[in-house]
Protein backbone atom coordinates (compact mmCIF):
# COMPACT_ATOMS: atom_id res chain seq x y z
CA UNK A 1 0.00 0.00 0.00
CA UNK A 2 1.05 3.63 -0.41
CA UNK A 3 2.96 5.80 2.00
CA UNK A 4 0.81 8.76 0.96
CA UNK A 5 1.54 12.45 0.82
CA UNK A 6 -1.11 14.93 1.86
CA UNK A 7 0.71 18.15 2.78
CA UNK A 8 0.85 21.12 0.36
CA UNK A 9 3.03 20.56 -2.69
CA UNK A 10 3.85 23.33 -5.16
CA UNK A 11 6.11 22.08 -7.95
CA UNK A 12 7.80 23.79 -10.87
CA UNK A 13 8.33 21.04 -13.44
CA UNK A 14 11.00 21.54 -16.07
CA UNK A 15 11.97 17.96 -16.82
CA UNK A 16 11.02 18.44 -20.47
CA UNK A 17 13.63 16.95 -22.73
CA UNK A 18 12.92 15.96 -26.32
CA UNK A 19 10.14 18.51 -26.91
CA UNK A 20 12.12 21.22 -25.13
CA UNK A 21 15.27 20.60 -27.17
CA UNK A 22 13.38 20.57 -30.47
CA UNK A 23 10.74 23.26 -29.91
CA UNK A 24 12.69 25.74 -27.80
CA UNK A 25 16.17 25.36 -29.30
CA UNK A 26 15.44 23.91 -32.73
CA UNK A 27 18.22 21.40 -32.14
CA UNK A 28 18.38 17.96 -33.71
CA UNK A 29 19.21 14.90 -31.64
CA UNK A 30 21.75 13.76 -30.66
CA UNK A 31 23.14 17.00 -29.29
CA UNK A 32 26.71 18.17 -29.33
CA UNK A 33 28.31 18.94 -25.97
CA UNK A 34 27.91 22.66 -26.62
CA UNK A 35 24.22 22.25 -27.38
CA UNK A 36 23.75 20.06 -24.31
CA UNK A 37 25.39 22.73 -22.17
CA UNK A 38 23.07 25.41 -23.60
CA UNK A 39 19.99 23.36 -22.68
CA UNK A 40 21.34 22.70 -19.18
CA UNK A 41 22.16 26.38 -18.67
CA UNK A 42 18.60 27.37 -19.60
CA UNK A 43 17.26 25.06 -16.92
CA UNK A 44 19.35 26.92 -14.38
CA UNK A 45 17.54 30.13 -15.42
CA UNK A 46 14.23 28.42 -14.63
CA UNK A 47 15.62 27.24 -11.31
CA UNK A 48 16.65 30.80 -10.43
CA UNK A 49 13.06 31.88 -11.11
CA UNK A 50 11.84 29.17 -8.75
CA UNK A 51 14.19 30.36 -6.01
CA UNK A 52 13.16 33.98 -6.48
CA UNK A 53 9.49 33.01 -6.14
CA UNK A 54 10.23 31.46 -2.76
CA UNK A 55 11.42 34.79 -1.42
CA UNK A 56 7.73 35.52 -0.87
CA UNK A 57 7.92 33.25 2.17
CA UNK A 58 6.82 29.83 0.88
CA UNK A 59 8.53 27.14 3.01
CA UNK A 60 11.19 25.01 1.32
CA UNK A 61 9.43 21.78 2.29
CA UNK A 62 6.26 22.84 0.44
CA UNK A 63 7.85 23.97 -2.83
CA UNK A 64 9.94 21.92 -5.17
CA UNK A 65 11.31 21.21 -8.61
CA UNK A 66 10.68 18.36 -11.00
CA UNK A 67 13.76 17.97 -13.19
CA UNK A 68 15.42 15.40 -15.43
CA UNK A 69 18.84 13.87 -14.93
CA UNK A 70 19.93 14.48 -18.53
CA UNK A 71 19.93 18.29 -18.45
CA UNK A 72 19.12 19.10 -14.83
CA UNK A 73 21.49 17.01 -12.72
CA UNK A 74 23.14 20.02 -11.09
CA UNK A 75 19.76 21.57 -10.35
CA UNK A 76 18.64 18.38 -8.63
CA UNK A 77 21.77 18.23 -6.50
CA UNK A 78 21.55 21.89 -5.50
CA UNK A 79 17.83 21.73 -4.74
CA UNK A 80 18.25 18.71 -2.51
CA UNK A 81 21.12 20.39 -0.65
CA UNK A 82 18.95 23.46 -0.04
CA UNK A 83 16.10 21.39 1.37
CA UNK A 84 13.61 21.82 -1.48
CA UNK A 85 11.28 19.03 -2.52
CA UNK A 86 12.79 17.25 -5.53
CA UNK A 87 11.19 14.98 -8.10
CA UNK A 88 13.21 13.06 -10.68
CA UNK A 89 11.67 11.95 -13.97
CA UNK A 90 12.30 8.29 -14.74
CA UNK A 91 10.44 7.80 -18.06
CA UNK A 92 12.03 7.80 -21.50
CA UNK A 93 11.25 11.16 -23.07
CA UNK A 94 9.18 11.26 -26.24
CA UNK A 95 7.91 7.68 -26.01
CA UNK A 96 4.17 7.17 -26.43
CA UNK A 97 4.40 3.90 -24.52
CA UNK A 98 5.99 4.14 -21.09
CA UNK A 99 9.52 2.82 -20.78
CA UNK A 100 12.04 3.46 -18.05
CA UNK A 101 14.75 5.90 -19.17
CA UNK A 102 17.56 3.71 -17.87
CA UNK A 103 15.90 0.33 -18.15
CA UNK A 104 16.94 -2.21 -15.54
CA UNK A 105 19.38 0.34 -14.05
CA UNK A 106 16.62 2.74 -13.01
CA UNK A 107 17.14 2.23 -9.28
CA UNK A 108 20.83 3.15 -9.45
CA UNK A 109 19.98 6.47 -11.09
CA UNK A 110 17.23 7.26 -8.57
CA UNK A 111 19.50 6.46 -5.63
CA UNK A 112 22.28 8.66 -7.03
CA UNK A 113 20.03 11.74 -6.67
CA UNK A 114 17.95 10.58 -3.70
CA UNK A 115 14.88 12.66 -4.72
CA UNK A 116 11.78 13.17 -2.61
CA UNK A 117 9.79 11.57 -5.44
CA UNK A 118 10.52 9.21 -8.29
CA UNK A 119 8.18 10.44 -11.03
CA UNK A 120 6.76 8.85 -14.15
CA UNK A 121 4.77 10.32 -17.02
CA UNK A 122 2.42 7.82 -18.62
CA UNK A 123 -0.09 8.05 -21.46
CA UNK A 124 -2.81 5.59 -20.52
CA UNK A 125 -6.30 5.48 -22.00
CA UNK A 126 -8.35 2.51 -20.78
CA UNK A 127 -10.13 2.32 -24.15
CA UNK A 128 -6.89 2.33 -26.15
CA UNK A 129 -4.65 -0.59 -27.09
CA UNK A 130 -5.04 -3.19 -24.36
CA UNK A 131 -1.74 -4.94 -25.07
CA UNK A 132 0.13 -1.65 -24.77
CA UNK A 133 -1.64 -0.87 -21.51
CA UNK A 134 -0.67 -4.27 -20.10
CA UNK A 135 2.97 -3.75 -21.07
CA UNK A 136 2.99 -0.33 -19.46
CA UNK A 137 1.39 -1.64 -16.29
CA UNK A 138 4.04 -4.35 -16.01
CA UNK A 139 6.90 -1.84 -16.22
CA UNK A 140 5.16 0.55 -13.85
CA UNK A 141 4.67 -2.24 -11.31
CA UNK A 142 8.45 -2.71 -11.20
CA UNK A 143 8.96 0.95 -10.29
CA UNK A 144 6.05 1.03 -7.85
CA UNK A 145 7.33 -2.07 -6.05
CA UNK A 146 10.83 -0.60 -5.86
CA UNK A 147 9.47 2.60 -4.31
CA UNK A 148 7.53 0.63 -1.71
CA UNK A 149 10.52 -1.53 -0.82
CA UNK A 150 12.87 1.44 -0.55
CA UNK A 151 10.31 3.65 1.23
CA UNK A 152 10.70 6.20 -1.55
CA UNK A 153 7.73 8.29 -2.59
CA UNK A 154 6.23 7.70 -6.02
CA UNK A 155 4.59 10.36 -8.24
CA UNK A 156 2.49 9.35 -11.23
CA UNK A 157 1.73 11.84 -14.01
CA UNK A 158 -1.32 10.52 -15.86
CA UNK A 159 -2.17 11.73 -19.34
CA UNK A 160 -5.27 10.38 -21.06
CA UNK A 161 -4.97 11.29 -24.74
CA UNK A 162 -8.11 10.77 -26.82
CA UNK A 163 -8.32 7.86 -29.22
CA UNK A 164 -9.49 8.48 -32.78
CA UNK A 165 -12.84 6.90 -31.93
CA UNK A 166 -13.30 9.01 -28.81
CA UNK A 167 -12.60 12.21 -30.70
CA UNK A 168 -14.99 11.14 -33.44
CA UNK A 169 -17.76 10.78 -30.85
CA UNK A 170 -17.37 14.47 -30.00
CA UNK A 171 -16.91 15.50 -33.66
CA UNK A 172 -13.24 16.25 -33.09
CA UNK A 173 -13.84 18.85 -30.39
CA UNK A 174 -10.97 18.50 -27.91
CA UNK A 175 -12.61 20.88 -25.43
CA UNK A 176 -15.71 18.69 -25.30
CA UNK A 177 -13.48 15.65 -24.85
CA UNK A 178 -11.63 17.31 -21.97
CA UNK A 179 -14.79 18.40 -20.18
CA UNK A 180 -17.19 15.53 -20.79
CA UNK A 181 -15.21 12.41 -21.75
CA UNK A 182 -11.76 12.58 -20.18
CA UNK A 183 -12.86 12.76 -16.48
CA UNK A 184 -14.52 9.32 -16.60
CA UNK A 185 -11.59 7.87 -18.53
CA UNK A 186 -9.16 9.23 -15.94
CA UNK A 187 -11.18 7.60 -13.20
CA UNK A 188 -11.19 4.26 -15.04
CA UNK A 189 -7.46 4.51 -15.78
CA UNK A 190 -6.60 5.12 -12.12
CA UNK A 191 -8.71 2.13 -11.05
CA UNK A 192 -7.06 -0.15 -13.60
CA UNK A 193 -3.60 0.94 -12.54
CA UNK A 194 -4.37 0.51 -8.85
CA UNK A 195 -5.80 -2.95 -9.54
CA UNK A 196 -2.54 -3.77 -11.36
CA UNK A 197 -0.63 -3.10 -8.12
CA UNK A 198 0.63 0.38 -8.99
CA UNK A 199 0.49 2.60 -5.90
CA UNK A 200 1.54 6.25 -6.26
CA UNK A 201 1.72 8.54 -3.26
CA UNK A 202 0.79 11.50 -5.46
CA UNK A 203 -1.18 11.53 -8.70
CA UNK A 204 -0.24 14.37 -11.06
CA UNK A 205 -3.28 14.80 -13.25
CA UNK A 206 -4.65 16.94 -16.03
CA UNK A 207 -6.82 19.84 -14.92
CA UNK A 208 -10.55 19.40 -14.42
CA UNK A 209 -13.05 22.18 -14.98
CA UNK A 210 -15.79 20.80 -12.73
CA UNK A 211 -15.54 20.44 -8.96
CA UNK A 212 -17.62 17.26 -9.05
CA UNK A 213 -15.00 15.63 -11.30
CA UNK A 214 -12.23 16.61 -8.87
CA UNK A 215 -14.20 15.05 -6.02
CA UNK A 216 -14.71 11.87 -8.04
CA UNK A 217 -10.99 11.55 -8.77
CA UNK A 218 -10.08 12.06 -5.10
CA UNK A 219 -12.57 9.39 -4.07
CA UNK A 220 -10.90 6.98 -6.49
CA UNK A 221 -7.27 7.69 -5.61
CA UNK A 222 -8.15 7.34 -1.92
CA UNK A 223 -10.34 4.23 -2.19
CA UNK A 224 -9.75 1.08 -0.18
CA UNK A 225 -7.59 2.58 2.55
CA UNK A 226 -5.43 4.90 0.42
CA UNK A 227 -6.50 7.76 2.68
CA UNK A 228 -3.32 9.86 2.52
CA UNK A 229 -2.82 9.83 -1.25
CA UNK A 230 -2.77 13.33 -2.77
CA UNK A 231 -3.41 14.85 -6.19
CA UNK A 232 -1.70 17.76 -7.88
CA UNK A 233 -2.79 19.56 -11.06
CA UNK A 234 -0.50 19.69 -14.08
CA UNK A 235 -0.49 22.63 -16.48
CA UNK A 236 -0.25 20.81 -19.83
CA UNK A 237 1.12 23.95 -21.48
CA UNK A 238 -2.35 25.54 -21.38
CA UNK A 239 -2.92 29.29 -21.45
CA UNK A 240 -2.82 31.16 -18.15
CA UNK A 241 -6.59 31.63 -17.98
CA UNK A 242 -7.23 27.89 -18.18
CA UNK A 243 -4.53 27.16 -15.59
CA UNK A 244 -6.11 29.66 -13.21
CA UNK A 245 -9.47 27.89 -13.56
CA UNK A 246 -7.99 24.45 -13.00
CA UNK A 247 -6.08 25.58 -9.91
CA UNK A 248 -9.03 27.38 -8.34
CA UNK A 249 -11.31 24.39 -8.91
CA UNK A 250 -8.84 21.84 -7.57
CA UNK A 251 -7.92 23.95 -4.52
CA UNK A 252 -11.54 23.86 -3.38
CA UNK A 253 -11.47 20.05 -3.03
CA UNK A 254 -9.91 18.18 -0.10
CA UNK A 255 -7.20 15.87 -1.37
CA UNK A 256 -5.87 18.22 -4.02
CA UNK A 257 -2.66 19.36 -2.36
CA UNK A 258 -1.07 21.53 -5.02
CA UNK A 259 0.08 21.80 -8.60
CA UNK A 260 2.91 21.24 -11.07
CA UNK A 261 2.67 23.90 -13.78
CA UNK A 262 5.69 24.02 -16.08
CA UNK A 263 5.56 25.42 -19.60
CA UNK A 264 2.93 28.05 -18.77
CA UNK A 265 5.32 29.25 -16.07
CA UNK A 266 8.65 29.32 -17.86
CA UNK A 267 8.29 28.93 -21.64
CA UNK A 268 7.77 32.57 -22.66
CA UNK A 269 10.50 33.75 -20.30
CA UNK A 270 13.11 31.29 -21.58
CA UNK A 271 12.13 32.00 -25.19
CA UNK A 272 12.47 35.74 -24.56
CA UNK A 273 15.85 35.27 -22.95
CA UNK A 274 17.07 33.16 -25.88
CA UNK A 275 15.80 35.76 -28.36
CA UNK A 276 17.48 38.49 -26.30
CA UNK A 277 14.19 40.35 -25.87
CA UNK A 278 14.48 39.69 -22.12
CA UNK A 279 17.54 40.01 -19.93
CA UNK A 280 18.38 37.11 -17.65
CA UNK A 281 17.15 39.16 -14.69
CA UNK A 282 13.85 39.92 -16.44
CA UNK A 283 13.35 36.28 -17.47
CA UNK A 284 13.97 35.05 -13.93
CA UNK A 285 11.56 37.64 -12.54
CA UNK A 286 8.87 36.67 -15.05
CA UNK A 287 9.10 33.01 -14.04
CA UNK A 288 8.94 33.97 -10.37
CA UNK A 289 5.84 36.12 -10.90
CA UNK A 290 4.01 33.33 -12.68
CA UNK A 291 4.89 30.79 -10.02
CA UNK A 292 3.84 33.18 -7.27
CA UNK A 293 0.52 33.68 -9.07
CA UNK A 294 -0.19 29.95 -9.08
CA UNK A 295 0.75 29.72 -5.40
CA UNK A 296 -1.53 32.62 -4.51
CA UNK A 297 -4.48 31.11 -6.41
CA UNK A 298 -4.07 27.73 -4.78
CA UNK A 299 -3.47 29.17 -1.32
CA UNK A 300 -6.61 31.33 -1.60
CA UNK A 301 -8.76 28.39 -2.65
CA UNK A 302 -7.29 26.08 -0.06
CA UNK A 303 -7.71 28.64 2.73
CA UNK A 304 -11.34 29.26 1.76
CA UNK A 305 -11.99 25.52 1.82
CA UNK A 306 -10.36 25.05 5.21
CA UNK A 307 -12.16 28.05 6.74
CA UNK A 308 -15.43 26.77 5.36
CA UNK A 309 -14.83 23.31 6.84
CA UNK A 310 -13.99 24.79 10.24
CA UNK A 311 -17.09 26.99 10.15
CA UNK A 312 -19.30 24.02 9.29
CA UNK A 313 -17.76 21.99 12.10
CA UNK A 314 -18.35 24.86 14.53
CA UNK A 315 -21.95 25.26 13.44
CA UNK A 316 -21.36 28.73 11.95
CA UNK A 317 -22.64 27.80 8.49
Cα distances (angstroms) measured from residue 180 to each of 173, 174, 183: 11, 10, 7
- Is residue 308 scored above 80 in pLDDT? no
- Is residue 102 scored above 50 in pLDDT? yes
Give tens-digit pLDDT for 200-233. 999 999 999 999 999 999 999 999 999 999 999 9
pLDDT of the residue at 23: 97
- Is residue 1 scored above 90 in pLDDT? no
CB 265 within 8 A of CB 235: yes
Cα distances (angstroms) measured from residue 156 to each of 26, 53, 140, 161, 292: 29, 25, 10, 16, 24
| Dihedral sign for Cα atoms in the order 248, 252, 253, 259 | positive
Say how far apart CA 122 and CA 156 lie, in whole Å: 8
Instruction: Tell me, yes or no, if the pTM score tops 0.85.
Output: yes
Give tens-digit pLDDT for 117-144. 999 999 999 999 999 999 999 999 999 9
Give tens-digit pLDDT for 245-277. 999 999 999 999 999 999 999 999 999 999 999
Mean pLDDT of the chain: 95
Amino acid sequence: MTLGYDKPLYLLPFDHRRSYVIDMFDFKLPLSKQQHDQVSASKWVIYEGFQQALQSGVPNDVAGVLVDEEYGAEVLRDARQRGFVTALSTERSGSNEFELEYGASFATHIEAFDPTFAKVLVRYNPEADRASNRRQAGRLRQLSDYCRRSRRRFMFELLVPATVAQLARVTGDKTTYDQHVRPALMDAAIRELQDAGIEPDVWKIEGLAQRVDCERIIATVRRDGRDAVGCIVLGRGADAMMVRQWLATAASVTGFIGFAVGRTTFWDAVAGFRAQTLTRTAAVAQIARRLNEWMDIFDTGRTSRLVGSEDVAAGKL
